[in-house]
Structure 1
Amino acid sequence: MPLHLKFSLSFLWSAFVLLATLPQVAWSAARSAVEPEAPLNEKIVRVPVQSSPLVTLEVTVYMPAHSAGGGSFPLALINHGASHDPLNAPRVGDQFIPWYFLSRGYAVAMPMLRGYAHSWGHLTPHGCDVLAIGNDAAKDIRKVLDYVKKIPGIDARQIVVAGKSMGGWNTLVFGAQNPADVKGLLNFAGGVKEADCSKPDESLITAAGELGSRTRLPSIWLYGDNDQTFSSATWKGMYAHFTAAGGHAQLVDYGDFQKDARQAYTRYLAATRPRAFAIARDGAWGQASGIDSINAALVQCANGHEECRVYSVDGDVVWAKK
């Protein structure tokens, strides 16, 4: 399937919900887990990114179900965000991410950053030098991509690179290298905030301008107005500087999402098990942990709202098609 980053508005919205918060398909969530129609065909590979000392990254690869029958498939390489507890970060935080792309004929690769989950090594702090932070990650992204695109069944000519939060920023920095084998970039609420940087927002805005002057790949940026990590003034400034410097980007401002464009689901994932997360058609949500968490989440969600359904149980996406 040819890929030129000419995504429809419906794809853009679905893509945002997929990586930054919640998928639209969650309206059909049910109380019991149902296998997605696209089998995940998951395997884990270790990709060497440094020889001395040896550092390998843990990479989860998913292939479309019909890959065994021949043919090749476009690849979506997805970069995850930062965590306050890297060693205990989940290898795949949301199974809907690979399913979404698999169901549309993509192969998926999801590398873990250095020091995250079972990836070796550690990230090097760079303070306010957000370009250096991204450049470190970009080197590893390049090596992971070179490794994964050689896997049988992947079309090395049809690749997009995506990421959310810190992964979105790393994606933009990687894209500034204008890799010839990548068609385009997806930036979901991308950015970096280091504890030892006193002016993180100014650093991002200035650095975005430098990236824009070098980037020739098309990109799509998706941000929310009530994102409490990166304010609208910050990401609008980043986008303005990026495009003014010559970067080719389309901005999708999806406005307010719940109380915070990213935090609701993050808090749910941090809760103890058993846990459940439910959402309503109008965007309301409920979450609960402990005994009968599913019913408690549904009751909380349904307070004044209609058609609440379970989206996730214990971190696994669940739903049933109507």
Structure 2
Amino acid sequence: MHSCAVSCLAFMAAAMSFLSPPLNAASIAPISETQTTLPERHTAFSEQLFRLPTRDGTILEATLLLPHMAGPFPLAIVSGGASHISGSNHGTRDRYDYLSGYFLARGYAVLRPMARGFAGSGGQLISDGCELATTARRNAEDTRDISAAIAELSDIDATRIVTAGLSFGGWVQMAMGTMPLPGTRAQLLFFPLMHVSSCHNDADRLLAGAGEFGAETRLPTLWVQGENDSLAPTATWKAMFAAYREKNPRAELVDVPPFLNDSHSLLNDPDGLRPWLSQADAMLEQAGLPHTVVVSDYLPALPPPSSGYAELNDFSRLPARNDMMRKAYQTFLAQQTPRAFVIGDDVESVGAHAFDPITSALSACNKASQNCHLYAYDNRVVWQEHSSSQTNEQTITVPAGKVVSVFYSVLNTDCSPRYVPAIKLVKGPAHGALRMSTSAIGLAHHTVGPLMKCNAMPVKGSVLQYRSDPDFSGTDRVTITKQTSTDPQDPPVTLTYLFTID
């Protein structure tokens, strides 16, 4: 996911052009349309790209996302941040992100308009120096022009509109709340603010702007912001919200506890959805808007809370003590968030930097192993005690007088031996003979995963061979230990075989 943070914008004066005639629905058409399916999902959504004129003729870029269901759809107008945008760096077009997914999953069409000078939009970045509220209003006028055109489409139910914005986009949508389209019923503001490199100590301008915007709207508003926002001191944004709510008492605050290293990146992680979901759903419901998930494929799996099983860096609490699990967990800990660590019977997998790290890691594990479960997410352990599908006691039926062999191997992905596991006798048979060797050649028996390709070729390993006494019938018991790691400090696993003689 790209960053949604606002950085200092190097604004330039906007160029004026000719006045554009109003658009009608028949003249509005996308210049391209694609079907997008998110990783590990099956339901696609439509992504339409538009280039539409503002009132002065400047052509702005906008993306419309449509869920795979029957319309017309309520409309969510979502404005993104302005990370590192300048006169020489226009950034990339806003498309799907977790906030878009929130609305898509609830059956909304999602419009992602791009401001002047952003991505493929024409014109120059709008700048009014330290007049931050004026900059927001002028950008909001453009957003309103583009949104009004899209609202004319037959796929859109223009009587049911919600707006949302994050960072700079939240600041712009706060201004658009003073001039909402007919049919607008609510707005969501995520850490709304902006900074201009030439304007120092702009907290007073942000505070004044928030008060202005609150005085000019009565939209139900949900303001979401965190205690460790790198771009807004807590005292500043809390004063902004207080000024806004004093004038618009229909505003509510979600005060997010410290989130990872920076709550301004809240919407870059599936974990950042949980703090505000229930309040947003409640506001939408009260506004008469869709508020329940109808297409879950458009959202990532939500991570569970800490289980209290272990501290994140406590390797001694990993469910198995072996070199491969420690190596995989070290890989997980070295990843940036969002990240997930999954453990199976025979494999460990890491999901990171993906749309859905949890599902990605579970999918990788299930392709190579069985009994896959989430152990850790981001900076916490979420593991619950799980029983392995691999039992340490196995029953094997043997014809009387016949030899049965149990072969053990540990292979690399190219089918070469990673090591030959040592096996040691704990308790021998009472009614038969046993032979054990660590210099055997045999066939592996992998049932899932990439090592199945090795089943057809002889490989090096260890073997246990059992044969019952000639006149014995019934069950004989053998217990051994088997090496599970290249580290001699790691304990072996204890295995018991019940040989049933028929």
- Give the structure-2-normalised TM-score: 0.48
Q: Is the 8 A contact 2:4 2:265 kept in 1?
A: no
1:80 alignment counterpart: 80
Asked if 1:44 corresponds to 2:63, the answer is no
Query: Which structure 2 residues correspond to residues 80-229 of structure 1 after superposition, within 5 A?
Result: 80-85=80-85, 87-92=89-94, 94-229=96-231
1:25 aligns to what? none
CA distance in structure 1 between the aligned counterparts of 2:64 and 2:336, rounded to whole angstroms: 37
**What's the counterpart of residue 273 of structure 1?**
none
Where does residue 67 of structure 2 map in the other structure? Answer: 64
- Residue 320 (str. 1) matches residue 393 (str. 2): no
Deviation at 1:319, TM superposition (A): 5.6
Cα deviation for residue 112 of structure 1 reads 1.0
Q: Is the 8 A contact 1:64 1:106 kept in 2?
A: yes
- 1:289 corresponds in structure 2 to none
* SS of aligned partner of 1:176: coil
Kindly indicate which of the two structures has a greater share of residues assigned to strand. Answer: 2
Contact 2:329 2:341 in 1 (8 A): no
Q: CA 1:85–1:130 in 2, change beyond 3 Å: closer, same or farther? A: closer
CA contact (8 A) 2:63 2:95 kept: no
Give the number of equivalent residue pairs: 267
- Unpaired segments ≥5 residues, structure 2: 6-37, 269-301, 313-327, 343-349, 363-502
Query: Identity over the aligned pairs, expressed in percent?
Result: 30
Aligned residue for 2:254, secondary structure, equals strand
Q: Distance in 1 between matches of 2:3 and 2:334?
A: 24
Whether the 8 Å CA contact 1:19–1:164 is kept in 2: the answer is no
The RMSD of aligned alpha carbons is 3.4
Higher relative contact order (CA 8 A, sep 6+): 1
> What is the one-letter code of the residue matched to 2:104?
L
For residue 65 of structure 1, give the secondary structure of its aligned residue in structure 2: coil
Q: Is the CA contact 2:165–2:173 (under 8 Å) kept in the aligned structure 1? A: yes
Aligned to 1:242: 244
How many angstroms apart in 2 are the aligned matches of 1:122 and 1:139? Answer: 15
Distance 1:60 1:132, change over 3 A: same
Please say if residues 128 and 135 of structure 2, whose CA atoms lie closer than 8 Å, have aligned partners that are also in contact.
yes
Give the distance between the partners of 2:231 and 2:155, measured in 1 at CA. 38
CA apart distance, 1:282: 5.7
- Paired residue type of 2:239: G
**Residue 79 of structure 2 contacts residue 169 of structure 2 at CA under 8 Å; is this kept in 1?**
yes
For 1:300, the equivalent position in structure 2 comes to 334
Take 2:221 and 2:266, find their aligned partners in 1: how far apart are those partners? 27
* 1:262 match: secondary structure: helix
Cα offset for 1:265?
A: 8.3
Task: Give the conservation status (yes or no) of the 8 Å contact 1:34–1:319.
Answer: no
Residues 163-220 of structure 1: per-residue CA shift (max 9 Å, x gap): 0001001001110224432111110011011111122111111221121111111110
Picking from 39, 54, 58, the partner of 1:55 is: 58
Equivalents in 1 of 2:120, 2:194: separation in Å? 22
Change (3 A) 1:106 1:18: farther
Q: Structure 2 vs 1, CA of residues 168 and 94 (structure 1 numbering), >3 Å: closer, same or farther? A: same
Cα drift, residue 83 of structure 1: 2.6
Note the C-alpha offset of 1:50: 4.0
| 1:310 and 2:351 aligned | yes
Structure 1's unaligned 5+ residue stretches are 1-16, 22-32, 267-278, 286-293
Indicate if the aligned counterparts of 2:335 and 2:352 stay in contact, CA closer than 8 A.
no
Deviations 1:50-97 (A, max 9, x none): 44xx31111111111123xxx311111100111324545221365444
- Specify whether residues 251 and 243 from structure 1 end up closer, same or farther in structure 2 by C-alpha distance, changes over 3 A only: same
